[in-house]
Structure 1
Amino acid sequence: MTLEDLTTDVEETYGELGESIDVELDRETRTELAMLLAATGADADELVRRGIHALFRTTVDTGDLDFQLRNGYDVSYDEYLMGMSVDEMAGESQYPQRDDERRYRM
């Protein structure tokens, strides 16, 4: 898959998510959410948003996001943000592929 495939998948998923999602909570998650709500005084929606931000940041910082993107799309998060691959940035895509069989023909 490519950078274009990733961009398309992100845009499609973004559109499918809409403004809110329903999430089923298991016992452990419900207990942890209740503890955070009691301790912070925030509302559940805000804590879920913060949790997603924290998970995203951790995934980026540890390199896990790049690992997953490289496996699935053969791009990194930086390449996604810039909208071009490292090869495109280096100008490799502007030169024709080398043909060693015809290289020394006159």
Structure 2
Amino acid sequence: MTTNDPAWVPEACTLPTIETPTRLAEFDGLFATALLGQQLLAPTRLRWRLDPAAEATARDLTRRENECCSFFTFTVTPVADAVKVDVEVPVAHSDVLAALAGRAAAGLRS
């Protein structure tokens, strides 16, 4: 199973299957255009640093993702030169977080 295969999306996610590719594309777009860096802080905690211009997009996307995948906790915080997004999951979903980190790493802009 790869992060390009929507099968890594857990059953706990209530997003209709037909909408999954669109949502993944939204995350990929955010990563490709705004991701400045990421840190895996723990197996259940990830931090992204985004371009400040992407704050509204990040807030909207993470809000919508939390509506269908309630196991995620997203915290969006503006800092001096970026927007920090902390992503947390329960231990049972650490594989989902790892897959999301892999998608982000693939899209990390240089």
Q: TM-score scaled to structure 2, two decimals?
A: 0.23
The structure with the greater share of residues assigned to strand is 2
The structure with the greater share of residues assigned to helix is 1
Q: TM-score scaled to structure 1, two decimals?
A: 0.24
